[in-house]
Amino acid sequence: MSAADTTAGLGARGRLGAWIESPGPRNFIIALIVINAIVLGLETSSGVMDAIGPELEALNAAILGVFVVEITIKLIAFGPRFFRSGWNVFDFLVVGIALVPDSGPLDILRSLRVLRVLRLVSQVKRLRDIVESVMRALPGLGWTALLLALVFYVFGVMGAELFGDAFPQWFGGLGATLFSLFQVMTLESWSSGIARIVMETYGWAWLYFVSFILIASFMVLNLFIAIIVSATQSLHADEEEAGRQELLDELREIRRRLDELGADRERETTQ
């Protein structure tokens, strides 16, 4: 974009880069992403697939072709600088996935095609802003998240050792136990589905579940508070800062006047 202002001084690659990022091609790509999303949605209906399946597949392939051309142009125009933006890497991977030959677990690869729809986020500034602001909040949550992970790990190992033999469907191994703990944290069927049945064998098991729920919800509440604080703060602080600055400017002006008065007086008295 800013590149567009200085295309005169750039070679063919610079002009290519400026063109591919200008509103015209950009909106064309956004329109293609939306059409692609609709096509991928229609393909989930077996009725539609029976009627116009091959046509949809062809449209799909055509759109993919345009995406490949678009990213190739950007690669040529920007060179290695292309990969400096996380969003470009994301575009590259999401389009690249579709070019991997369909060997191996076909369904999973096919289903990943829909990730292309997320290119809407990388192409529409407002959506990108929201995701970026969310991403910026993540590092601040790091230590609280580590603490929550630690609580999960400790209760996970304990659960696997205590209940693993009697209830392998929920506590057979660390992985299964961690999934069960995630379920318990979301409060889904934790009591009627799991805890009450475990308590029939181990009467004291309520201690394990209740303490996990209390500690985990407290941790999650802390995570939420951290997010809310970081979200409201910066916003609030900016506003308040502006108001305070106005007051400070006024005060500094008053001090300047006082200094002038003082200097006048000094001049006067020294005369």
Residues 169-198 that bind a second copy (CB under 8 A): 173-174, 177, 179, 182-183, 186-193
H helices within the chain, ranges in order?
Answer: 12-20, 23-42, 46-78, 86-96, 106-112, 119-123, 125-163, 168-171, 174-185, 196-201, 205-270
The nearer residue to a second copy, 84 or 126, going by C-beta atoms, is: 126
Q: How far is the CB of 41 from a second copy (least distance, A)?
A: 6
d(CA 200, CA 218): 28
Asked if residues 244 and 194 have their Cβ atoms less than 8 Å apart, the reply is no
Q: How far is the CB of 43 from a second copy (least distance, A)?
A: 8
The nearer residue to a second copy, 69 or 138, going by C-beta atoms, is: 138
196-235 mask for a second copy (x: CB under 8 A)? ----------x---x--x----x--xx-xx-xxx-xxx-x
44 scored as a contact of a second copy (CB under 8 A): yes
d(CA 57, CA 105): 19
Q: How far is the CB of 6 from a second copy (least distance, A)?
A: 31
59-98 mask for a second copy (x: CB under 8 A)? ----------------------------------------
d(CA 67, CA 23): 16
Output the six-digit token pair for 114. Answer: 């829909």
241 scored as a contact of a second copy (CB under 8 A): yes
The nearer residue to a second copy, 57 or 264, going by C-beta atoms, is: 264
d(CA 265, CA 84): 62
Task: For helices 205-270 and 174-185, give the axis angle rounded to 10 degrees.
Answer: 70
What part of residues 133-172 is at the interface with a second copy (CB under 8 A)? 134, 143-144, 146-147, 150, 153-154, 156-158, 160-162, 164
237 scored as a contact of a second copy (CB under 8 A): yes
